[in-house]
Amino acid sequence: MAADFSSLPILDFAFISDNTRHSEFIAQLRHALINVGFLYLKNHTVPQPLIDRLIDFIPRLFDLPQSAKDDILMSNSPHFLGYSRLGTEFTKGKADYREQFDFATPHETQWRPGAPVHLRVWGPSQWPNPVLIPDFRETIENYLKEVQALSYQFIRLLAEALGLRSDALAKFYDSDDLMQHRAKVIKYPANDGSLTNQGVGPHYDAGFLTFLLQASPHPGLQVQNLSGDWIDAPPIPGTFVVNIGKALEFVTRGLARATSHRVLSPPVSSTPRYSVPFFQNISLNTCLSQEVLDFPPDILKLKDQRGHPAQTDSVNFTEFDREPSGKVNLIGRIKSHPDVAERHYPDLFKEYFPDGLPQHISTY
């Protein structure tokens, strides 16, 4: 087995436009994808002043009056976009101690009555009243556009790092007007001493790539290495934490690792931790089992040299082998937000929750 990791690699995006260092970046990326599944990316293309503006908005967003937040509750939205109150999500039967807003890139839902239900998982965001928080919507929409562009650039480098043509993953995306990518703006309040320290429980991300902005200086994010140890991934200013989701792991035959991670709540009487994960989606209609990629033998060999991750109790995805990607996505959302499901997807709700609204919900 290759040496197990005890910290996350830091990659310098400036290398990709430097002829003498491009191949160094690709080699570091290959290592990070196959052996770690997580990396920090510095000197990326998203303008720092825009990031700073977004970070500045976050406490103000959560400090809106409760009624203003409840006006855009996620349960209003068949697209699982909007506000979720503290402690309403659970992972493995334990409450996640976080409050959050889900916002997404602009999208007209493609679903019409009679069309496949999974097309309905994407649609317009709900926005807080602009009178109460002017310019917030414009700021986060700009931010999402910038991260989206970076994520598409990154996926080409990722293909190169796995020995493929740089456009080998283009088939997983539709044109921009048909795609939607999503972000959460999350607040992790301090542990008040009587509560669990589970900010979010151990899990994998579902899609292709996640670009996480750690929006306050608090540690708390931890990543599980191959031996099962939890490795800290503290905030590094000016970076994104980039990680691989289960869908990308599936189509790369496990070469690009989806790695289990979790967040511990800030300690008692600390200020809250804030973060903004951006989840890059793939086309809703792609059946991943028909799209598994082929790799050069010398690249595939690296997976065997890595060895197999220790068993983890992280939540898993099992449906990629038979359902279109959008359906897998929808099932994940149904399981984590049954109140939304009960209102907007009554048939699927009955299928997954035959005994009615559960006391314990699984986050992903």
Ligand X SMILES: O=C(O)CCC(=O)C(=O)O
CB-nearest residue to ligand X: 275
Candidate residues 36, 205, 211, 231; the one interacting with ligand X per rule CB under 6 A? 205
| Closest distance of CB 46 from ligand X, Å | 17
Sheet holding 198-203, edge to edge: 198-203, 261-264, 221-224, 230-232
Please enumerate in sequence order all residues whose Cβ is within 8 A of that of 58, keeping only pairs 6 or more positions apart, or say none: 185, 187, 215, 274, 276
- Which pair of tokens denotes residue 233? 């991934």
Residue from 205, 215, 216, 325 touching Fe ion (CB under 5 A): that is 205
Nearest approach, Cβ of 275 to ligand X (angstroms)?
A: 3
d(CA 266, CA 195): 12
Strand 38-42, strand 10-12: pairing: parallel
CA angle 116, 118, 120 (to 5 degrees): 95
Distance in Å, CB of 188 to ligand X, minimum: 7
Residue 128 in tokens = 């807080």
What is the DSSP annotation of 204-267? ---SSEEEEEE-SS---EEEE-TTS-EEE----TT-EEEEE-HHHHHHTTTSSPB--EEEEPPP
Cβ proximity to ligand X: between 243 and 252 the closer is: 243
> Cα–Cα distance between 143 and 52 in angstroms, integer?
10
Per-residue x/- track, 148-187, Fe ion (CB under 5 A): ----------------------------------------
Among 58, 81, 200, 242, binds ligand X (CB under 6 A): 200
Contact positions with ligand X (CB under 6 A) in 254-313: 261, 263, 275, 277
**Neighbour count for residue 201 (Cβ, 10 Å):** 22
Q: Using CB under 5 A as the criterion, what x/- string covers residues 30-69 for binding Fe ion?
A: ----------------------------------------
- 126 vs 336 by CB, closer to Fe ion: 336
Give me the least distance between CB of 237 and ligand X, in Å please: 15
Residue window 163-192: x/- pattern of binding to ligand X, with contact defined by CB under 6 A? ---------------------x-x------
Choosing among Fe ion, ligand X, none, which partner's interface includes residue 186 (Cβ < 5 to 8 Å by kind)?
ligand X
Phi, psi of 55 (to 5 degrees): -60, -40
Query: Which C-beta is closer to Fe ion: that of 51 or that of 244?
Result: 244
CA distances from 181 to 56, 81, 106, 203, 265 (A): 22, 11, 9, 20, 26
Q: Closer to ligand X at the Cβ: 78 or 199?
A: 199
Alpha carbon dihedral 134, 136, 141, 142, in 10-degree steps, equals 90
State yes or no: residue 242 binds ligand X (CB under 6 A): no
Closest contact distance (angstroms) between CB of 277 and ligand X is: 5
Measured CA to CA, the distance from residue 226 to residue 196 in angstroms comes to 26
249 belongs to the binding site for Fe ion (CB under 5 A): no
Angstrom distance (rounded) from CA 243 to CA 205: 8
Q: Which residue is nearest to Fe ion (CB)?
A: 205
Taking CB under 6 A as the criterion, the residue among 81, 162, 221, 341 binding ligand X is 221
Q: Which residues contribute to the site for Fe ion (CB under 5 A)?
A: 205
Q: Which residues contribute to the site for ligand X (CB under 6 A)?
A: 184, 186, 200, 205, 212, 221, 261, 263, 275, 277
